[in-house]
């Protein structure tokens, strides 16, 4: 049995107005356990760094190989997000991350920012795909290591 099963594995980061800006939690489907990291709006560099620290703590605890990043609600500088992700990917790889499904707004799906994100994950030998819907992202994670 996994020692963390009875813990509530979720954290919320709040903005200066007390509203949730980033959520990170352990989730699952019938076929797969994954960490879900979701942004609700624009956020600061400090919030991005704090969310990555919390994500790495959760990854260290669970050794969960699968991550969903949901940035459909993000409004802001994609370069900031990519730079922070890139700086932490080696740590995530060392802690066991193998697969990342990234849910993005439709207008970002084929953007330069997503190409750069895929390159960053690829350099760290982490499989990465961008999706515009949660169902396809979860579906990909459910089969990605069965091929």
**123 located within any domain:** yes
**1 located within any domain:** no
The per-residue pLDDT for 5 is 46
**65 located within any domain:** yes
**DSSP conformation class of 77:** -
**119 located within any domain:** yes
**3 located within any domain:** no
**70 located within any domain:** yes
- What CATH number is attached to the domain comprising 137? 3.30.750.24
Range of the domain at 118: 10-143
Kindly write down the DSSP assignment for every residue of 103-116, as one continuous string. Answer: E--GGGTTSHHHHH
As given in the structure block, the two tokens for residue 147 are 């091929």
Burial category of 74 from C-beta neighbours within 10 Å (exposed 0-12, middle 13-18, buried 19 and up)? buried
Could you read off the pLDDT of 91-122 as tens digits, one per residue?
Answer: 999 999 999 999 998 888 778 888 888 998 99
Could you read off the pLDDT of 28-47 as tens digits, one per residue?
Answer: 776 678 888 888 766 677 77
pLDDT band at 140; cut points 50, 70, 90:
very high
Instruction: Give the separation between CA 117 and CA 115, rounded to whole angstroms.
Output: 5
The per-residue pLDDT for 2 is 52
- Overall domain count for the chain: 1
Could you read off the pLDDT of 59-69 as tens digits, one per residue?
Answer: 888 889 999 99
pLDDT at position 21 over 90: no
Stated pTM of the model = 0.83
């Amino acid at each position: 049995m996994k020692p963390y099963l009875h813990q509530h594995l979720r954290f919320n980061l709040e903005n200066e107005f007390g509203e949730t800006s980033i959520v990170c939690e352990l989730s699952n489907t019938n076929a797969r356990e994954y960490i879900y990291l979701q942004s609700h709006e624009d956020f600061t560099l400090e919030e991005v760094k704090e969310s990555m620290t919390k994500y790495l703590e959760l990854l260290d605890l669970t050794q969960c190989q699968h991550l969903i990043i949901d940035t459909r609600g993000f409004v802001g500088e994609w370069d900031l997000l990519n730079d922070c992700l890139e700086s932490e990917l080696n740590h995530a790889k060392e802690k066991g991350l193998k697969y990342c499904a990234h849910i993005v707004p439709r207008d970002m799906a084929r953007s330069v920012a997503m190409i750069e994100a895929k390159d960053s994950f690829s350099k760290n030998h982490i499989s990465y795909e961008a999706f515009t819907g949660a169902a396809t992202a979860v579906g990909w994670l459910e089969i990605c290591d069965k091929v």
